[in-house]
Amino acid sequence: MAQTIEVTGLRKRYGDVRAVDGVTFAVEEGEFFGILGPNGAGKTTALEIIEGLREADEGQVSVLGMSPWPRNPGLLPRIGVQLQSSSFFERLTAREQLRTFGSLYGVPAGKSDAMLELVGLDGKADVPVEKLSGGQAQRLSIACALVHDPEIVFLDEPTAALDPQARRNLWDVLREISTGGRTVVLTTHYMDEAEILCDRVAIMDAGRILRLGPPAVLVRGLDAPARISVASGVLTAEDARLLPGADETGDDGVSLTISTRDPSAVVAAMAAKDALDGVQIRGATLEDVFLEVTGREYRA
Ligand SMILES: Nc1ncnc2c1ncn2[C@@H]1O[C@H](COP(=O)(O)OP(=O)(O)O)[C@@H](O)[C@H]1O
Ligand SMILES: [Mg+2]
* Residue 173: half-sphere exposure toward Cβ, Cα within 13 Å: 26
Domain match, 232 and 215 both = no
User: What is the model's pLDDT at position 179?
Assistant: 87
What pLDDT is stored for residue 296 in this prediction?
Answer: 87
Is residue 127 located within the same domain as residue 215?
yes
Within a domain: 291: no
CB 41 near ligand 1, within 6 Å: yes
Q: Is the CB of 39 under 6 A from ligand 1?
A: yes
Beta bridge partners of 258: 228, 249
What angle do the packed helices 109-118 and 94-104 form, to 10 degrees? 120
Rounded to whole angstroms, the Cα distance separating 284 from 110 reads 47
Whole-angstrom Cα distance, residue 59 to residue 90? Answer: 38
Same domain, 216 and 247: no
How much is the pLDDT for 85? Answer: 65
pLDDT of residue 278: 92
Domain that holds residue 271: 226-283
In a domain, 292, yes or no: no
For position 295, what pLDDT does the model report? 85
| Average pLDDT estimate for 224-230 | 92
CA-CA distance, 235 to 277, in Å (whole number)? Answer: 10
CA-based nearest residue to 107, from 147, 70, 77: 147
| Average pLDDT in the chain | 93
Number of compact structural domains in the chain? 2
Q: How far is the CA of 184 from the centre of ligand 1 (A)?
A: 22
Whether 48 and 102 map to the same domain: the answer is yes
pLDDT score of 275 more than 70: yes
CA of residue 258 to ligand 1 center, whole Å: 40
CA 45 to ligand 2 center in whole angstroms: 7
Q: Do 33 and 98 share a domain, yes or no?
A: yes
Model pTM score: 0.90
| Same-domain status, 151 and 208 | yes
In a domain, 257, yes or no: yes
196, 220, 244 — which closes off a domain? 220
Cα→Cα distances 136→88, 116, 141, 244, Å: 13, 11, 9, 51
Query: Which tens digit of pLDDT belongs to each residue from 241-266?
Result: 999 999 999 999 999 999 999 999 99
Confidence tier at 8 by pLDDT (50, 70, 90):
very high
Confidence category of residue 53, pLDDT binned at 50, 70, 90: very high
| Residue 276 and residue 158 share a domain | no
Residue 84: band (very low, low, confident or very high) from pLDDT cuts 50, 70, 90: low
Q: Does any domain span residue 269? A: yes
- The strands making up 58-63's β-sheet, listed across from edge to edge, are 17-28, 3-14, 58-63
Among 89, 90, 117, smallest CA distance to 103 is for: 89
Q: Are residues 198 and 80 in the same domain?
A: yes
Kindly state whether residues 136 and 236 are assigned to the same domain: no
Residue 37 Cβ contacting ligand 1 at under 6 Å: yes
In the chain, the percentage of residues whose pLDDT exceeds 90 is: 84
CB of 19 closer than 6 A to ligand 1? yes
Give the domain CATH number at 203. 3.40.50.300
Pair 183, 262 in one domain: no
- 1 — pLDDT class (breaks 50, 70, 90): low
Q: Is residue 198, in this structure, part of any structural domain at all?
A: yes
* Closest ligand to Cα 41: 1
108 Cα–ligand 2 center, Å: 32
Examine the domain organization and report whether 25 and 95 are in the same domain: yes
